[in-house]
Homo-oligomer: A and B are copies of this chain.
């Protein structure tokens, strides 16, 4: 059994992680840390865990957590774990971090988009970007995982085969992404209240959303040259789900949708969690809700010479807690899909 601690257990990503771990055959939760709710039980905050996870929430004690755990998941906002993580890492305990802090190779990029100096740039060399389908080998031996964000997971995987094979004009990429409200976390902000969200939709942070830089870093690495692209996030009145509609101009206009679909199926042939739709079919978010799958379909617009790729994930599973467990499975030599191989809820 892997001994696990979760820091930030009562946020939505943390709670989803506990939901998954509570039925993972090799997981043993040893500590749940919550600054706000220390002293209460997990099931006091989320009654859905009653009789399933009644563990008492604790305050932060780095030494205890490090000495009791094989791996620590930190599910806090960027910057919030900047003292905890180096301290834990020093003791040789594996870390899977949900924030942006260990996703970047270059601390300058981090500073530019997050507006603050990176707290532990010396650790960036020890950390791996935890997009399992692209970095499986590096993840296996990593000390720290920068677990990717929801928009980025959905967008990078949608474009990777086209970018790596240089099939598109790199200047033409537009990603129009739509997210459910859990993407904002367990928030009291008025913007995420029921009455403001339901029967409403909006774009936000156009041309300046931080995930843009993550997507660009990863696609540039695949392309072998710098890619700059347009990314627009939207808030949609549902709980779970990110859908990214990705547009790019084909370099060779003669490519058919079928050819590209074949390419995608081949590119992802060893990836259990990637499902490529047959020609004429398109994914929907309820096909993946509650699961760790990434569903993709694509079409070629022959009139304009563009390829349009649509990809869907559950933002708090494959976009957060599920991918974190997938990373853990890889790091500990377990079957990659262990504990996260359930089908979507659909309903």
Contacts and interface: CB of A to CB of B under 8 A. Distances in A.
- Most chain-B CB neighbours within 10 Å: which of A272, A300, A308, A346? A346
Q: How many A residues touch the partner, as a band?
A: 35 or more
A287 interface: yes
Interface stretch (A76-84, A128-136, A176-184): A176-184
Interface string A283-299: 11111111100010001
A50 interface: yes
A301 B207 contact: yes
Interface in A221-239: 228-230, 232, 234, 236-239
B176 A245 contact: yes
A230 B195 contact: no
Interface stretch (A15-23, A64-72, A96-104, A137-145): A15-23
- Most chain-B CB neighbours within 10 Å: which of A194, A204, A237, A287? A194
A259 to B, nearest CB: 16
Contacts of A302: 207
B345 A12 contact: no
A287 B52 CA distance: 12
Contacts of A19: 343, 345-346
A189 interface: yes
B229 A304 contact: yes
Nearest to A241: B201
A236 B201 contact: yes
Interface in A26-64: 46-53
Contacts of A46: 346
Contacts of A51: 272, 275
A71 to B, nearest CB: 21
Given A207-B303, A301-B207, A247 B230 contact: yes
A188 interface: yes
A197 B200 contact: no
B207 A308 contact: yes
Nearest to A175: B176
B229 A245 contact: no
B245 A232 contact: yes
A237 B189 CA distance: 18
Nearest to A342: B23
B284 A47 contact: yes
Contacts of A201: 178, 236, 238, 241, 243, 284-285
A1 interface: no
A228 B126 CA distance: 49
Given A188-B188, A291-B48, A304-B228, A238 B347 contact: no
A324 B193 CA distance: 26
A287 B193 contact: no
A192 interface: yes
A289 B207 contact: no
